[in-house]
Chains A and B, each alone.
Chain A
């Protein structure tokens, strides 16, 4: 690790100001950033910790919309009893990771195998930053890439509450990130299916499945559908064909469990 400056502001405005200086970077739970720094792969001059900002640490649900502050930890979401999202959060990493890692950090990082992006995209959630709101469909721009601008902070994420939802995660055996993860969410106006872990393009919506499930929300509705292996990730833990196959298996299981 290289030397760096450290500040811990207590308001969003102070954080935004602090992030304006050169090579400053936001620090959430540090579960991604700190290991990267230890490996000397990242070298921010200044870390701006977001953990002292109260307004980013709130969770609130009015029954229609669930709002999770950008600084809320995975453990807090897991303990909240918010259905599929809580279950998802409760399966991220290990207790140490969940007690530190935040939803804002996970979404800003947008690891192609991370869990939250599937929930956000399937729920058509809204990302609220310090200066705008971004629809989930516009937010994810491929592996490790998002619509966030330099210095922009995720203040909260607003999830429309679904009629039914479920997340199925098939773990990559070593990292236990998602080898494939499928989040299915059913709303009055239709079903959304978002897939993480599988594609080289990062999280994506499986629209053919969405159409079929919107017509009939049952596992059988997926019969006859298949996903093209083209563009799926190839690594030690699975071929593109395997991943494409898993997407369908997990989608069906998510529908059955929702």
Chain B
């Protein structure tokens, strides 16, 4: 019997009731009395000099409250970057200024120039139409390699070039890797592009700034994954507002996928303008605006080489990547192609020598930052593609080649040559599992059946690793993070025994409100309905770092467990007093404290009541009340891994790829709510299949966004996706957090793109096709077939 409550049970997600009945409270549902609306006039050219902005006619338009330009923000801080990468020569990256509203120049289509604040949004738009913005268009740089050429137009005139940094990792290994590749029995080389994506959370970004002149306090409502991070970045670096005067609230948030981690200019604008006009200012992004102002994801161009010895053992990996930063450095942009990517280049394998070079490049495009998986999908894609290609070149089975080079269970903890130490794992177990659940033995028969219908069937396997549960603060600090990455929780037990957990994690679809109470319920033995999760409001929760990098349970959940342990320890003292027993003899189970070896007991609710009505209470030894806070800083990342199998059918006449089946065997360590884990994996795979076959953000050479709406940007839809077979029974619990959990939010998006492309290439292998770039659209597949013919 599966459990029906506590850890390991799958209660339905309680938050879904309000989401599905239209009772969710999203930022756009909030309307402040007397609020105004802002409309941003954005650049329609990729690069240009602003000659003149004439707001005089617009100011006279009905309903206009005030019009702001870059000039209003002189002397105000710019949008900061939260991570400094040091290049391979020991120099800090080039870090350009990022004004809230453009000053002097525009640098990408969508760069905000003027903000019109009016009584209604329509009035703001009307006024925006009579504004005069005179811009001289400049040549734009879009292609990264072009951008690095001598004499290329510069995105930022005050920087020496468009190179943000040239990063080498591990720099000391560079020559040894070169040497190994030169002398290897076999070297497989692959050039590929990790396509640029637009995150497209269902809810676009929204910000409402409020200012209370009576006490000089600000409130920002914003669609953020991490309200405290916004409070710190915006308060300290942009607007100079002390934190005790600034409250940031992120209520229900409709998906983030990374793009709502970052601090955006619009948030700073609304907060700043609210004081300037002494009225609330609201901004709701349109979908079109989202395409040109939300940070994009991925966009790497890579050459990877895998060297093998004569027995097919991996000897070395060398990779050269160009990573697009876009026009400005978004909050965590520099970390994505470096520390979230280079450190994963060992994959699941014992490759002894690895060298990763990354050139981060400024271009006249929207800034690029973390998107579901962030860096790790890019690593996994290269590695799992090049291994497949090597297997094909060597004429060996791709699964066997992987198994041969796996880190074996008895090698953990395993220190990779790229600075991380995997605590635990069992890669053969997940590979065994995928062979079983994907029925790999039956593939040839299915392939023959497809052939009868004129279709080419292909099978693709990938085995990914990710580093998540981000992460030890002291380590990320050494790597350039300008933030700590601990998490916090307060467990507040009420007098009658119900519990509110204030967590620094933020739920924007993940299901924390259901899963977190399962953990507390298990620890204390009370009903989950007695426990509520409070998150997303800096006025209510301790300083926390929010949700991204699959860290909520591994880091936030651990903080919660630590706080609950303190609560339980104190409650036991109270129970010992009430039961007139020794503290060490008190046991807690099923919501009852008992004295070991006796039939004496006291209920959880009686103990909690005593804590707040301390009539019979050891006041001389113990403070009343039952509320504890813990801050948890993990000792290491967590390392989920898994095997994915994808089968596709290609229609050789049209190039259309159909995903016939997709199976995932993940090792997430211990699992709190299997249903939620399934959902996370499903969503991740949907986005992975989206990246592999459908989604593509494309600029033309002038920097115009060609895929700026759903007419041209292909989101995955239900009928693009197969039924998934998902398994997470292979479990090697994390060794360094109290729950033994690893995190499951990004895995699907990390493991699936290489599985899909390996399958497409397998289907096309009879044509001699060895690679196809993402997305493998019908047109692209057809062109590849024509070229191969």
Contact residues of A with B, CB < 8 Å?
1, 39-40, 170, 173-175, 179, 235-239, 241-242, 245-246, 249
Partner of A174, one of B711, B779, B786: B711
* Contact A242:B783 (CB < 8 A) given known A173-B694, A173-B777, A249-B653: yes
Query: Closest CB of chain B to A3's CB: distance in Å?
Result: 9
A-B contact pairs, 25 of them (CB 8 A): A1-B122, A40-B125, A40-B129, A170-B654, A170-B656, A170-B778, A173-B694, A173-B777, A173-B778, A174-B710, A174-B711, A174-B713, A174-B714, A174-B715, A175-B711, A175-B712, A235-B712, A236-B696, A237-B777, A237-B779, A238-B778, A242-B779, A242-B782, A246-B654, A249-B654
Cα of A62 to Cα of B655 in the assembled complex, Å:
41
Q: Are B777 and A245 in contact (CB under 8 A)?
A: no
Q: Which residues between 680 and 716 of chain B lie within 8 Å of chain A, taking CB atoms? A: 694, 696, 698, 706-707, 710-715
Partner of A236, one of B653, B655, B698, B710: B698
> Taking CB as reference atom, which chain B residue is nearest A241?
B786
Which A residues are CB-close (under 8 A) to B125? 40
Which B residues are CB-close (under 8 A) to A249? 653-654
> Taking CB as reference atom, which chain A residue is nearest B655?
A242
Q: A39-B288, A174-B707, A174-B714 are in contact. List 11 more A-B contacts (CB 8 A).
A: A40-B125, A170-B654, A170-B656, A173-B714, A174-B711, A174-B712, A175-B710, A175-B712, A236-B706, A238-B779, A239-B779
Which A residues are CB-close (under 8 A) to B712? 174-175, 235-237
> Taking CB as reference atom, which chain B residue is nearest A180?
B654
Cα of A237 to Cα of B694 in the assembled complex, Å:
10
Cα of A179 to Cα of B714 in the assembled complex, Å:
13
Which A residues are CB-close (under 8 A) to B706? 236
Which B residues are CB-close (under 8 A) to A170? 654, 656, 778
Which B residues are CB-close (under 8 A) to A246? 654
Q: Which residues between 440 and 477 of chain B lie within 8 Å of chain A, taking CB atoms? A: none
Cα of A175 to Cα of B653 in the assembled complex, Å:
21
Q: Which residues between 294 and 335 of chain B lie within 8 Å of chain A, taking CB atoms? A: none
> Taking CB as reference atom, which chain A residue is nearest B288?
A39
Which B residues are CB-close (under 8 A) to A40? 125, 129
Which B residues are CB-close (under 8 A) to A238? 778-779
Cα of A249 to Cα of B129 in the assembled complex, Å:
47
> Taking CB as reference atom, which chain A residue is nearest B712?
A174
Q: Which residues between 756 and 789 of chain B lie within 8 Å of chain A, taking CB atoms? A: 777-779, 782-783, 786
Which A residues are CB-close (under 8 A) to B714? 173-174
Cα of A255 to Cα of B778 in the assembled complex, Å:
22
Cα of A40 to Cα of B715 in the assembled complex, Å:
25
Which of A40, A179, A242 counts the most chain B CB atoms within 10 A? A242
Which of A170, A236, A241, A246 counts the most chain B CB atoms within 10 A? A236
Which A residues are CB-close (under 8 A) to B698? 236
Cα of A236 to Cα of B783 in the assembled complex, Å:
13
Q: Are B710 and A239 in contact (CB under 8 A)?
A: no
Contact with A along B96-128 (1 / 0, CB 8 A): 000000000000000000000000001001000
Cα of A238 to Cα of B129 in the assembled complex, Å:
35
Cα of A235 to Cα of B777 in the assembled complex, Å:
13
Q: Are A245 and B707 in contact (CB under 8 A)?
A: no
9 A-B pairs with least C-beta separation = A174-B714, A238-B779, A173-B714, A175-B711, A249-B653, A174-B712, A242-B779, A236-B706, A236-B712
Contact residues of B with A, CB < 8 Å?
122, 125, 129, 288, 653-656, 694, 696, 698, 706-707, 710-715, 777-779, 782-783, 786
> Taking CB as reference atom, which chain A residue is nearest B122?
A1
Which B residues are CB-close (under 8 A) to A39? 288
Which A residues are CB-close (under 8 A) to B715? 174
Query: Closest CB of chain A to B775's CB: distance in Å?
Result: 9
Which A residues are CB-close (under 8 A) to B122? 1
Which A residues are CB-close (under 8 A) to B777? 173, 237
Which A residues are CB-close (under 8 A) to B782? 242, 245
Query: Closest CB of chain A to B584's CB: distance in Å?
Result: 65
Query: Closest CB of chain A to B275's CB: distance in Å?
Result: 31
Which B residues are CB-close (under 8 A) to A235? 712
> Taking CB as reference atom, which chain B residue is nearest A40?
B125
Query: Closest CB of chain A to B760's CB: distance in Å?
Result: 15
> Taking CB as reference atom, which chain A residue is nearest B782?
A242
Cα of A39 to Cα of B779 in the assembled complex, Å:
30
Q: Are A239 and B783 in contact (CB under 8 A)?
A: yes
Cα of A246 to Cα of B782 in the assembled complex, Å:
10
Cα of A179 to Cα of B712 in the assembled complex, Å:
12
Cα of A173 to Cα of B656 in the assembled complex, Å:
10
> Taking CB as reference atom, which chain A residue is nearest B700?
A236
Query: Closest CB of chain A to B165's CB: distance in Å?
Result: 31
Cα of A173 to Cα of B778 in the assembled complex, Å:
9
Which A residues are CB-close (under 8 A) to B786? 241
Which B residues are CB-close (under 8 A) to A236? 696, 698, 706-707, 712
> Taking CB as reference atom, which chain A residue is nearest B779?
A238
Cα of A1 to Cα of B286 in the assembled complex, Å:
13
> Taking CB as reference atom, which chain B residue is nearest A239?
B779
Cα of A242 to Cα of B713 in the assembled complex, Å:
19
Cα of A245 to Cα of B783 in the assembled complex, Å:
11
Cα of A243 to Cα of B476 in the assembled complex, Å:
51
Cα of A121 to Cα of B431 in the assembled complex, Å:
55
Which B residues are CB-close (under 8 A) to A241? 786
Which A residues are CB-close (under 8 A) to B713? 174
Cα of A149 to Cα of B711 in the assembled complex, Å:
29
Which B residues are CB-close (under 8 A) to A179? 778
> Taking CB as reference atom, which chain A residue is nearest B653?
A249
> Taking CB as reference atom, which chain A residue is nearest B715?
A174
Cα of A236 to Cα of B700 in the assembled complex, Å:
10
Which of B715, B778, B786 counts the most chain A CB atoms within 10 A? B778
Cα of A174 to Cα of B716 in the assembled complex, Å:
9
> Taking CB as reference atom, which chain A residue is nearest B656?
A170
Cα of A242 to Cα of B654 in the assembled complex, Å:
9
Which A residues are CB-close (under 8 A) to B288? 39
Query: Closest CB of chain A to B767's CB: distance in Å?
Result: 16
Which B residues are CB-close (under 8 A) to A1? 122
Cα of A179 to Cα of B129 in the assembled complex, Å:
35
Which B residues are CB-close (under 8 A) to A237? 712, 777, 779
Query: Closest CB of chain B to A204's CB: distance in Å?
Result: 20
Cα of A39 to Cα of B710 in the assembled complex, Å:
14
> Taking CB as reference atom, which chain A residue is nearest B125?
A40
Query: Closest CB of chain A to B633's CB: distance in Å?
Result: 44
Which of A173, A175, A237, A239 counts the most chain B CB atoms within 10 A? A173
> Taking CB as reference atom, which chain B residue is nearest A238?
B779
Query: Closest CB of chain A to B738's CB: distance in Å?
Result: 46
Cα of A174 to Cα of B291 in the assembled complex, Å:
15
Query: Closest CB of chain A to B778's CB: distance in Å?
Result: 7
Cα of A236 to Cα of B714 in the assembled complex, Å:
11
Which A residues are CB-close (under 8 A) to B655? 242
Which A residues are CB-close (under 8 A) to B656? 170
Which A residues are CB-close (under 8 A) to B654? 170, 246, 249
Query: Closest CB of chain B to A225's CB: distance in Å?
Result: 15
Query: Closest CB of chain B to A171's CB: distance in Å?
Result: 9
Query: Closest CB of chain A to B17's CB: distance in Å?
Result: 25
Which A residues are CB-close (under 8 A) to B694? 173-174
Cα of A244 to Cα of B226 in the assembled complex, Å:
50
Which A residues are CB-close (under 8 A) to B653? 249
Query: Closest CB of chain A to B416's CB: distance in Å?
Result: 38
Cα of A3 to Cα of B766 in the assembled complex, Å:
60
Which B residues are CB-close (under 8 A) to A245? 782
Which B residues are CB-close (under 8 A) to A174? 694, 707, 710-715
Cα of A237 to Cα of B712 in the assembled complex, Å:
8
> Taking CB as reference atom, which chain A residue is nearest B698?
A236
Cα of A174 to Cα of B717 in the assembled complex, Å:
10
Which of A39, A174, A238 counts the most chain B CB atoms within 10 A? A174
Cα of A39 to Cα of B711 in the assembled complex, Å:
14
> Taking CB as reference atom, which chain B residue is nearest A250?
B654
Which A residues are CB-close (under 8 A) to B129? 40
Cα of A68 to Cα of B129 in the assembled complex, Å:
42
> Taking CB as reference atom, which chain A residue is nearest B696?
A236
> Taking CB as reference atom, which chain B residue is nearest A245?
B782
